[in-house]
């Protein structure tokens, strides 16, 4: 919204709109999930992620793949301790690459925050499709209607 402020003459309330995060379409994540799921049980283990990265010659170590896995299961609700590190489901990977709005208390503005391992996931997703980001929808800023 900062780039619109200079020549905007409408109501000031529209300048407080939040910027949309750059999202990855879910069908690309589903395609990656199916390609990575070797045993076809609709779950991704750390071993499957590491084998996929080795197969496509991605520059990930075992520790980086494990970090990706742990970051994806970070918000998981568990009923018993053995379920905490169960393999990933599709929704957890979608959540790992999604951006969230966060209020920055220092600058007093909204910002888009991403998880720390999102860049690793993006490199993995680019093995499925080179153009993984959806085209952003142009921002609509209402103006006065002149009769």
Helices 26-36, 46-55: axis angle to 10 degrees equals: 90
What is the rounded distance in angstroms from the CA atom of residue 115 to the CA atom of residue 9?
36
Residue 36's pLDDT is what? 93
Q: Are strands 100-104 and 109-113 parallel, antiparallel or unpaired?
A: antiparallel
Going along the chain from its start, the domains and CATH numbers come out as 18-125 (1.10.238.10)
Strand, helix or coil for residue 45: coil
Residue 59's pLDDT is what? 92
Residue 116's pLDDT is what? 93
Asked if 4 and 139 touch (Cβ cutoff 8 Å), the reply is yes
104 phi and psi angles, rounded to 5 deg: -85, 115
Strand, helix or coil for residue 105: coil
Question: How do the pLDDT tens digits run along the chain, 147 residues long?
Answer: 455 555 666 666 666 666 666 788 888 999 999 999 988 899 999 999 999 999 999 999 999 999 999 999 987 888 888 888 899 999 999 999 988 888 889 988 888 889 999 999 999 999 998 877 765 566 667 777 777
Asked if 97 and 125 touch (Cβ cutoff 8 Å), the reply is yes
List the structure tokens of 80.
């018993």
Asked if 33 and 93 touch (Cβ cutoff 8 Å), the reply is yes
């Amino acid at each position: 919204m900062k780039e619109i402020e200079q020549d905007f003459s409408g109501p000031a309330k529209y300048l407080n709109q939040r910027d949309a995060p750059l999202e990855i379409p879910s069908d690309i994540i589903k395609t990656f999930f199916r390609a990575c799921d070797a045993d076809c049980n609709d779950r991704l283990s750390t071993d499957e992620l590491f084998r996929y990265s080795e197969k496509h010659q991605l520059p990930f170590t075992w520790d980086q793949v494990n970090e990706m896995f742990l970051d994806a299961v970070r918000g998981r609700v568990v009923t018993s301790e053995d379920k905490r590190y169960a393999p990933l489901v599709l929704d957890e990977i979608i959540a790992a690459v999604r951006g969230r709005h966060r209020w920055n208390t220092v600058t007093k503005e909204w910002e888009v925050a991403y998880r720390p391992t999102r860049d690793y996931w993006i490199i993995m997703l680019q093995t499925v499709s080179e153009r993984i980001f959806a085209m952003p929808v142009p921002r609509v800023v209402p103006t006065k209607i002149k009769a």
